[in-house]
């Protein structure tokens, strides 16, 4: 398994929309590699025929009826939004339409 280099950290940071200053890339990579080294021991555990546990409870088919329950929280949220334009949330212009 690959060891994380600065470019890998850069790539993953972009996927996660996190700006990491260039000076921090190397120490970050180092810390992450230590952790990855540690978790890599999982690969030595024999798991053939073992199913994954996504949910600790074995529940299934939890649903709700198709009923309308109106909510007016949008007003409260818009009132505190970082930027708004009337009843809309505002963000920097998106170029690729």
Partner 1 sequence: MAAYEPVIGLEVHVQLATASKLFCGCPTTFGAPANSQTCPVCLGLPGTLPVLNERAFEWGIRVALAFDCAVQPTMKFDRKQYFYPDLPKGYQISQYDQPLAQRGHLDIVVGEQTKRIGIHRIHMEEDAGKLLHDPHATASYVDFNRAGVPLLEIVSEPEMRAPEEAYQYLTELKAVLSYLDVSTCNMEEGSLRCDANVSLRPAGTTPFGAKVEIKNLNSFKAVKAAIEYEMVRQAEALDRGERIVQETRLWDAKAQTTESMRSKEGASDYRYFPEPDLVPFVIDAAHVKAVAAKLPELPAKRRARLAQQYQLPAYDASVLTQHRRLVEVFEQAVAQYGKAKPVANWVMVELMAYCNARQRDPDEITLQPVWLVHLLQAIDNATISGKMAKELFVESIEQQVDPQQIIEAKGLRQIVDTSELEKVAEDVLADNPKSVEAFRGGKQNALMFLVGQCMQRTKGKANPQSMMEILKRKLTESKEVAS
Partner 2 sequence: MTQTNRTDSPLSQPLHQLRDRIASGAVDPRQFLNDLLTRIEQFNPSLRAYIAVDRERVQAELAERLAKGPRGRLFGVPITVKDNICVRGEQTTCASRILQGFRPPYDATVIERLAREGAVIIPHANMDEFAFGSSTENSAVGVTRNPWDPSRVPGGSSGGSAASVAADLAVAALGSDTGGSIRQPAALCGVVGMKPTYGRVSRYGLIAFASSLDQIGPITKDVTDCAELLSVLAGNDPRDSTSAPTAVPDYLAALNKPVTGMRFGLPKEYFIEGIDPEIQRAVEEAARVLESKGMKRVSVSLPHTQYAVATYYVVATAEASSNLARYDGVKYGYRGAGSSLLEMYEHTRAEGFGRESVRRIILGTYVLSHGYYDAYYLQGLKVRTLIKRDFDDAFKECDVILTPTSPSAAFKIGEKLNDPLQMYLSDIFTISANLAGIPAMSMPCGFTSSGLPIGMQLLGPSFEEARLLQVGRAYEQATEWHTRKPSLQAAEARN
CA dist 22 and 25 (Å) reads 5
Report how many residues bind partner 2 under the rule CB under 8 A: 50
Contact 1, 40 (CB under 8 A): yes
Is residue 15 involved in binding partner 1 (CB under 8 A)?
Answer: yes
Q: Which residue of 23, 41, 67, 86 would you call a contact of partner 2, by CB under 8 A? A: 41
Q: Does 45 bind partner 2 (CB under 8 A)?
A: yes
User: Pick from partner 2, partner 1, none: which does 66 bind, CB < 5 to 8 A by kind?
Assistant: partner 1
* Beta bridge partners of residue 85, listed in sequence order: 88
Residue 43 lies near partner 1 (rule: CB under 8 A): no
Q: Find how far residue 9's CA is from the centre of its chain.
A: 15
């Amino acid at each position: 398994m690959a060891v994380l280099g600065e470019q890998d950290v850069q790539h993953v940071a972009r996927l996660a929309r996190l700006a990491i200053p260039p000076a921090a890339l190397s120490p970050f990579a180092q810390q992450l590699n230590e952790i990855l080294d540690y978790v890599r021991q999982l690969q030595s555990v024999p798991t053939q025929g073992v199913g994954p546990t996504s949910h600790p409870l074995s529940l299934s088919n939890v649903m709700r009826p198709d009923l309308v329950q109106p909510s007016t929280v949008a007003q409260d949220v818009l009132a505190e939004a970082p930027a708004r334009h009337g009843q809309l949330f505002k963000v920097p212009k998106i170029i690729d339409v």
